[in-house]
Chains A and B, each alone.
Chain A
């Protein structure tokens, strides 16, 4: 092999190794990029009256978000209101549409970031707790409730448990078990209204937005029930996302949701979701919820 031939061979080998290294680097970068692109968001949903209809509504929204974000948005539904707190750990939820109490608890426990509130078809983004009875029950105040049957929604609901509990405490009722004949949990707000209407319970506690919806579907309900107490207004549903999620993704998600009502396609999805638009949440509201929750928890702790 001549001197010139060897030099050419060495030059070619050097170039080949350089090309191979560049190729391996590019391939690795592409794999990393691809893995980042295929990331998905797992969002939890708390149950309402009919979880199947609810899931259908939310799927329209998740499909839209997946398309707009370029990230698959997957939904999972809870069977109980409080279940979501444990699911953040067991299922590694990235976020959830939460009711006021669970939102307040999870924001603190799981370091969540409240992103948006939906505005329902009546133009409301908040809800309040109602304590209601049948008109013919004769119950018109706290004192009349003694020895009656009461139905709550779920221990993890603001409107359907913590609000009546706090109200009872403020009225001097320390021992709920002795005060009522029987208490039960309906699992959903609508079920609580039906339990009172059907006579399975004398008193009920649930949120106003569900009451308004039921009255819209059947106006006679308003004639049969009397609201004897109501709470302050709290954000009804809040989409909360883990703070450790990529900041760009959180910003993009928030921007898409806040601007949905400005596009025809977005409006179509909002209609299926039964909302008018999304708005930014009021953080102070969660402080009020926390205060009421502490008041209610002290009542629970007392008995």
Chain B
């Protein structure tokens, strides 16, 4: 649009300038014609005077007369170089024809050797032609002058008109330029103001602030990026808050471990001494056993809390995930065979099915932490099966490459499962569905997985409605 406006302005200006210069050129040409005509008249008058003085003491030499006549001829020839209207063209041709006759007559007069009377006749004949030439050139001068006057008036009027058009074009261009500049400045400053306002909102702590107004062009893209950035900052802020909270809990847990664990150990030793050495009755000893058991539970709870709040820093190694899974499955099977874990419901045999992809790429992770994660999940599955299912318990362990950058480990059971409301709480600390559970096992598992950069874990109910599936994603070892 802007380009078209400028183009239109430029074309108008050029056309106006062209028209003006053409008019001025035409005027100059007409003035030039007038100069040629004057020259022609002077030439004819000179030759006429030569004609009358030839042969007298005032007469010029023949060579000079020849020069004058040739100059007259040249001047007449220049007239045909220009473009003329048909009438003038005809007159010019007529004039040139007259000049040809004039030359013949002059030559005849100059070279004749007849008697004086005849010579006089020849002189008069030539002079008459010369007079005709003068008369014709006078008529042409008059015509040229009239034309020149008309053209001058017309050209001056056109020049004045062109002047007005030029001034008008310049004025319109100027105001148009100002309007366009204001429009452009506003279209830039308004979005910048909006963006600046948004940054001030973020600065004041309103991390949830979003630019709702639709901004044009690149500013729109900038606003979208800004909103994404604000959302990201908010997420990071929440994560930071959580981390800080956990750090506080960690400090608290460490303090408690230090302050509670040692007295508890003392109490436990005292209770065991009483149990062995004192002559207490059977009922009293049962109470002592219950106290010792509760002390063990408190100690385990403290240990779990410490693990959750301040997990050990992972020591990364390149490893084969299938190997870690094998080790974890073996440990779980060993735990299942341990007579201490056999209850009345565990008569049924729990089967662990392995479906491990041998071509899975290696990953970088802490092997002992991953082993703890898998063992936690496997034992959790055993507990889920043991506490509810009448069918044969099956735990399926799968490994596969989920994408180019990650591997996936899926551990699922066909146990009693969990309701969908509780599923959302499953990784929160102290959430448990077991009578004896601390509610820290899955919370610790999640923390350990997330300590591996890019690691994640999700839980979902099986599609058949029986049991839970845990899916762990871990990044593969990068080639660099």
Instruction: Render A71-104 as a binary contact track against B, CB cut-off 8 A, 1 for contact.
Output: 0000111111000000000000000000000000
B70 touches A56 (CB 8 A): yes
In the bound complex, do residue A51 and residue B70 qualify as a contact, i.e. CB atoms below 8 Å apart?
A: no
Considering only residues 91-111 of chain B, those with a C-beta below 8 Å from chain A are 103-104, 106-108, 110-111
Q: Are A191 and B112 in contact (CB under 8 A)?
A: yes
Count, chain A residues at interface, CB 8 A: 22
Report, as a range, how many residues of chain B touch the other chain: 10 to 19
Contact assessment for A77 and B118 in the assembled complex, using a CB-CB cutoff below 8 Å: no
**Cβ contacts A170-196/B at 8 Å (1 or 0 each):** 000000000000001111100100000
Q: Total number of A-B contacts with CB less than 8 angstroms?
A: 59
Segment among B8-16, B61-69, B443-451, B466-474 that sits at the interface with chain A: B61-69
* In the assembled complex, B273 has its CB within 8 A of some CB on chain A: no
| Residue A39 is within 8 A (CB to CB) of chain B in the complex | no
Q: Which residues of B contact A185 (CB under 8 A)?
A: 112-114
Q: Known interface pairs A77-B62, A77-B63, A191-B108. Does A50 touch B103 (Cβ–Cβ under 8 Å)?
A: yes
Which residues from 27 to 52 on chain A have a C-beta closer than 8 Å to any C-beta of chain B?
A: 47, 49-52
Q: Mask for B102-141, Cβ within 8 A of A = 1, else 0?
A: 0110111011111100100000000000000000000000
Q: Which residues of A contact B69 (CB under 8 A)?
A: 52
Contact of A187 among B70, B103, B112 (CB under 8 A): B112
Is A139 an interface position by the 8 A CB rule? no
- Interface residue? B272 (CB, 8 A): no
Interface centre among A52, A78, A79 (most CB of B within 10 A): A52
Contact yes or no, B111 A79, CB < 8 A: yes
For residue B148, give the distance in angstroms from its CB to the closest CB of chain A. Answer: 32
Task: Verify if B366 is at the interface (C-beta below 8 Å from A).
Answer: no
In the complex, the chain B residue whose C-beta lies closest to that of A200 is: B118
The reply on A198 being an interface residue by CB < 8 A is: no
User: Is B158 an interface position by the 8 A CB rule?
Assistant: no
Task: Confirm or deny: A53 has a beta carbon within 8 angstroms of a beta carbon on chain B.
Answer: yes
Q: Judging by beta carbons under 8 Å apart, are B111 and A47 in contact?
A: yes
Q: Are A50 and B113 in contact (CB under 8 A)?
A: no
Partner of B115, one of A80, A154, A184: A184
B108 neighbours in A (Cβ, 8 Å): 187-188, 191
Whether a CB of chain A sits under 8 angstroms from the CB of B326 is: no
> Can you name the residue of chain A whose Cβ is closest to the Cβ of B63?
A76
Which of B104, B106, B111 neighbours the largest number of chain A CB atoms within 10 Å of its CB? B111
| Bound Cα distance from A49 to B108, whole angstroms | 7
Question: Is A55 part of the contact surface with B, judged by Cβ < 8 Å?
Answer: yes
Given A47-B107, A50-B104, A191-B108, decide whether A80 and B113 contact each other with a Cβ distance below 8 A: yes
| Closest-CB distance, A200 to chain B (whole angstroms) | 9
| Contact residues of B between 255 and 307, Cβ < 8 Å to A | none
Among candidates B62, B73, B115, B118, residue contacting A79 with C-beta atoms closer than 8 Å: B62
Cα-based distance from A155 to B106 in the complex (angstroms): 21
Q: Are A51 and B112 CB-contacts (below 8 A) given A76-B63, A79-B62? A: no
Shortest B107–chain A CB gap in Å is: 5
Q: How far is the CB of B74 from chain A (nearest CB, A)?
A: 10
Q: List B contacts of A191 (CB < 8 A).
A: 108, 111-112
Which of B63, B103, B107 makes the CB contact (< 8 A) with A188?
A: B107
A51 touching B118 by the CB < 8 A rule? no
**Interchain nearest-CB distance for B72 vs A (Å):** 9
Q: Which of B103, B110, B113, B115 has the most CB of A within 10 A?
A: B113
A56 partner residues in chain B, CB cutoff 8 A: 70
Q: Are A51 and B113 in contact (CB under 8 A)?
A: no
CA distance A72 to B112 in the complex (A): 31
User: Other than the known A51-B66, A52-B70, A188-B107, what 13 A-B pairs have Cβ atoms closer than 8 Å?
Assistant: A51-B110, A51-B111, A52-B73, A53-B103, A55-B70, A154-B113, A155-B113, A184-B115, A185-B112, A185-B114, A186-B114, A191-B108, A191-B112
* Sample of 16 A–B contacts (CB below 8 Å): A47-B107, A50-B103, A52-B107, A56-B70, A76-B63, A77-B63, A77-B66, A79-B111, A80-B111, A184-B114, A184-B115, A184-B118, A185-B113, A187-B114, A188-B111, A191-B108
